[in-house]
Structure 1
Amino acid sequence: MRQECNNSRPEFDTIRDYEEFNKYYWYRDELIKICKDHGLKAPSGKIELNKVIEAYFSGERIPPEMKCVSKKKAVVTELTLETGLIACGFTFGQKFREFFSKQTGEEHFKFNVDIVATAKEVKEKGDESFTLGDLLDVYYGKKTYAKYDKSALQWNRFVKDFCADDATKVYGERLKAAAKLWGIVRDSDMEKTYSGELLEKYRDRL
Structure 2
Amino acid sequence: MSNNNRPDFDDIKNYEEFSKYYWYRDELIKICRDLGLKSPSGKIELNKIIEAYFAGERILPEKKHGKRKRSVVTELTLDTGLIACGFTFGNRFRDFFSKQTGEEHFKFNVDMVATVKAVKENGDESFTLGDLLDLYYGKKTYAMYDKSALQWNRFVKDFCADDATKVYGERLKVAAKLWSIVRDSDMEKIYSRELLEKYRDRL
- What TM-score, normalized to structure 1? 0.65
Q: Relative to 1, partners in 2 of residues 1:43 and 1:162: Cα closer, same or farther, differing over 3 Å?
A: farther
Aligned to 1:189: none
8 Å CA contact 1:7, 1:176 repeated in 2: no
Question: In structure 2, what residue type is equivalent to 1:165?
Answer: V
1: CA distance, partners of 2:69 / 2:124:
17
- Identify which range, 124-133 or 48-57, moves more after superposition: 48-57
1:113 Cα offset (Å) = 2.5
Deviation at 1:118, TM superposition (A): 1.9
Matches of 2:67 and 2:6 in 1, distance apart?
42
SS in 2 for 1:183: coil
Q: Matched residues in 1 for 2:10 and 2:20: separation? A: 14
Give the number of equivalent residue pairs: 186
Aligned to 1:92: 89
Name which of 64, 71, 74 aligns with 1:77: 74
What is the TM-score with the length of structure 2 in the denominator?
Answer: 0.66
- Structure 1's unaligned 5+ residue stretches are 1-5, 186-193
1:20 & 1:151 partners in 2: Cα distance? 16
2:29 corresponding residue in structure 1: 32
Q: Which amino acid aligns with 1:155?
A: W
Residues 201 and 106 (structure 1 numbering): CA distance in 2 closer, same or farther, change over 3 Å?
farther
Given that 1:24 and 1:176 are in contact with CA atoms closer than 8 Å, whether structure 2 keeps it comes out as no
Q: 2:180 aligns with which of 175, 196, 202?
A: 175
Structure 1 residue 9: Cα displacement: 7.1
User: Does the 8 A contact of 1:32 with 1:49 survive in 2?
Assistant: yes
SS of 1:87's equivalent in the other structure is: coil
CA RMSD of aligned residues (A): 4.1
**Secondary structure of the structure 1 residue equivalent to 2:149:** helix
Q: Which of 123, 139, 144 matches 2:141?
A: 144
Deviation at 1:148, TM superposition (A): 2.9
- How far does residue 32 in structure 1 lie from its aligned partner after superposition? 3.4
Residue 112 of structure 2 corresponds to 115
